[in-house]
């Protein structure tokens, strides 16, 4: 069997780790090199069981480090780069935009530059580089590059780019770099733009895992503004399947929108999460062992409206028709089933939550919410 070697950056983060597990369990024809800087959002423990030193290797390091990325291309026969590595939290980007520009833009450019150096085989008659067979650079992007929708309409692949937060501006810039390399050098590259993911290993500073954590601790649930902002939620494994479909079958130079067809207001998500935790605790009393508060406190009384996020995008909604028509992908996991799976995972993996929130996170949480 012809094996391909993937460089998976950010593979110790939420979506990257789920993708690593999905690839290793579903495909025999891939070897993986995970490159991750293990920032506050990356956790080696998440993938420790997957790293076997043969099919799956782990390297700690920064995607902006040219010498390091070059050494990986020298050491391994890398055919595919899937770039998940990023600073990913909008609230943090409002506090420290520069880090987002460095990692998300310059990191992307660095990966593409090194890939270009190793993958070029020559020149065609028009002076364009020719490429090693089967190579692919894939950029994991976000629907946030399209900005904010009003009450109606969907983002398609041709919607104008209109980012509004430092995070989305950095992701948009990275997408433009990918497009530039794809047009200028014909480097075989694809981009997926996905809506909000949820599922196991989601760092508990993002809405759903934060709410789960706070409910279990009996802490206030911070809802920004009036809670009416809308996100289009997709189960993380469905996203991983979409990425792999694009890596294997997507056309170089193309963008694919990936979404769950599952729009919900934030306040609906919070209410549903409270109700689901309450129900699971009542149906399966063993789960109550993880509660750090009385079951009677697991109620909407925890909801606390706080100051809105600056420049808070009102609504995101993806039209994933191209993924369905060209690649046969669709979101398989209904939200009602996905949220129960997710909550069960958190109830059963509290040690993971404790591990990832034991460090710098505590200070962050205090800073973030004390003045709201
Ligand atoms: P995450 O924050 O959970 O993980 C990011 C990972 O990247 C971490 O493991 C971190 O250690 C690593 N990393 C950060 N800076 C790095 C650097 N300079 N060098 C190497 N590694 C570095 O993020 P996530 O939610 O898993 O998102 C992954 C990708 O998907 C991001 O590019 C994000 O923009 C995109 N995305 C996320 C969502 C979502 O809902 N979470 C939706 C659409 C797109
Ligand atoms: P988040 O999970 O940070 O993802 P993104 O900003 O990339 O969409 O936030 C999802 C939505 O939930 C967003 O509209 C902001 C809101 N939100 C809250 O209301 N409270 C919170 O504590 C957090 C983290 C987010």
User: Is the distance from the beta carbon of residue 41 to the nearest atom of ligand 1 less than 6 Å?
Assistant: yes
Contact predicate 84/11, CB 8 Å? yes
4 Cβ contact partners less than 8 Å away, ≥ 6 residues apart: 29, 30, 31, 79, 80, 134
Vertex 285: Cα angle to 280 and 291 (nearest 5): 80
Reported as a single tens digit per residue, the pLDDT across 122-178 is 999 999 999 999 999 999 999 999 999 999 999 999 999 999 999 999 999 999 999
Within a domain: 242: yes
Alpha carbon distance 218, 303 (integer Å): 11
Reported as a single tens digit per residue, the pLDDT across 262-303 is 999 999 999 999 999 999 999 999 999 999 999 999 999 999
22: closest CA among 188, 350, 341, 245? 245
Q: Which atom of ligand 2 is nearest to the CA of 221?
A: 22
The distance from CA 157 to its chain's CA centroid, rounded to whole angstroms, is 19
φ, ψ dihedrals at 52, nearest 5°? -115, 5
pLDDT at 260: 86
Establish how many alpha carbons lie within 13 A of residue 47's alpha carbon, considering only the half-sphere containing its beta carbon. Answer: 36
First-to-final CA distance of the chain: 56
Within a domain: 42: yes
Within a domain: 128: yes
User: Hey, what's the torsion of the CAs at 268, 274, 278, 281, to 10 degrees?
Assistant: 120
The DSSP H or E segment spanning 174 is helix 166-184
Question: How far is it between the farthest Cα atoms of the chain?
Answer: 74
Query: Above 80 in pLDDT, residue 330?
Result: yes
279 Cβ contact partners less than 8 Å away, ≥ 6 residues apart: none
Within a domain: 352: no
CA of 227 to the centre of ligand 2 (A): 10
Query: Above 80 in pLDDT, residue 365?
Result: no
Alpha carbon distance 214, 2 (integer Å): 47
Within a domain: 97: yes
CATH of the domain at 140: 3.40.50.720
pLDDT at 45: 97
Query: Above 70 in pLDDT, residue 189?
Result: yes
pLDDT at 190: 99
Within a domain: 117: yes
Alpha carbon distance 204, 348 (integer Å): 15
Instruction: Taking residues 40-67, report their average pLDDT.
Output: 97
Vertex 238: Cα angle to 173 and 140 (nearest 5): 15
Within a domain: 48: yes
CA of 209 to the centre of ligand 2 (A): 10
Number of domains forming the structure of the chain: 1
Task: Provide the domain limits for residue 117.
Answer: 4-203+235-261+311-333
Establish how many alpha carbons lie within 13 A of residue 258's alpha carbon, considering only the half-sphere containing its beta carbon. Answer: 33
pLDDT-derived band at 187 (thresholds 50, 70, 90) equals very high
Alpha carbon distance 350, 292 (integer Å): 11
Pairing mode, if any, of strands 221-224 and 303-306?
A: parallel
| Residue list, ligand 2 pocket, CB within 6 Å | 90, 196, 206-207, 210, 222-224, 229, 231, 266, 309
Alpha carbon distance 21, 97 (integer Å): 31
Alpha carbon distance 263, 80 (integer Å): 33
Within a domain: 142: yes
Marked catalytic residue, from 19, 137, 146, 167: 167
User: Is the distance from the beta carbon of residue 342 to the nearest atom of ligand 1 less than 6 Å?
Assistant: no
């Amino acid at each position: 069997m012809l094996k391909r070697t993937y460089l998976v950056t950010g593979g110790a983060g939420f979506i990257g780790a789920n993708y690593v597990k999905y690839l290793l369990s579903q495909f025999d024809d891939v070897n993986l090199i995970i490159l991750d800087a293990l920032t506050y959002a990356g956790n080696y423990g998440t993938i420790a069981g997957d790293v076997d030193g043969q099919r799956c290797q782990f390297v700690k390091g920064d995607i902006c480090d040219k010498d390091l990325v070059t050494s990986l291309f020298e050491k391994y026969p890398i055919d595919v780069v899937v770039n998940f590595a990023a600073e990913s939290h909008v609230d943090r980007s409002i506090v420290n935009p520069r880090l987002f520009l460095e990692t998300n833009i310059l990191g992307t450019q660095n990966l593409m530059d090194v890939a270009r150096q190793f993958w070029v085989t020559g020149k065609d008659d028009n002076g364009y580089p020719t490429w090693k067979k089967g190579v692919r650079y894939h950029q994991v992007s976000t629907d946030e590059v399209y900005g904010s929708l009003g009450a109606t309409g969907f983002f398609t692949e041709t919607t104008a780019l209109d980012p509004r937060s430092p995070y989305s501006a950095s992701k948009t810039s990275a997408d433009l770099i990918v497009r530039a390399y794809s047009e200028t050098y014909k480097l075989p590259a694809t981009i997926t733009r996905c809506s909000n993911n949820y599922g196991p290993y989601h760092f508990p500073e993002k809405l759903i895992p934060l709410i789960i954590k706070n409910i279990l601790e009996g802490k206030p649930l911070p809802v920004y503004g009036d809670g009416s902002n809308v996100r289009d939620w997709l189960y993380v494994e469905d996203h991983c399947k979409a990425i792999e479909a694009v890596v294997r079958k997507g056309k170089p130079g193309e963008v694919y929108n990936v979404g769950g067809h599952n729009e919900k207001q934030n306040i609906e998500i919070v209410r549903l999460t409270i109700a689901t935790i309450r129900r699971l605790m009542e149906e399966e009393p063993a789960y109550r062992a993880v509660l750090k508060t009385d079951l009677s406190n697991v109620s909407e009384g925890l909801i606390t409206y706080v100051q809105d996020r600056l420049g808070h995008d009102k609504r995101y909604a993806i039209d994933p028709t191209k993924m369905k028509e060209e690649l046969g992908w669709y979101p398989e996991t209904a939200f009602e089933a996905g949220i129960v799976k997710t909550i069960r995972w958190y109830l059963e993996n509290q040690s993971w939550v404790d591990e990832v929130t034991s460090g710098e996170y505590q200070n962050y949480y205090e800073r973030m919410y004390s003045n709201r």
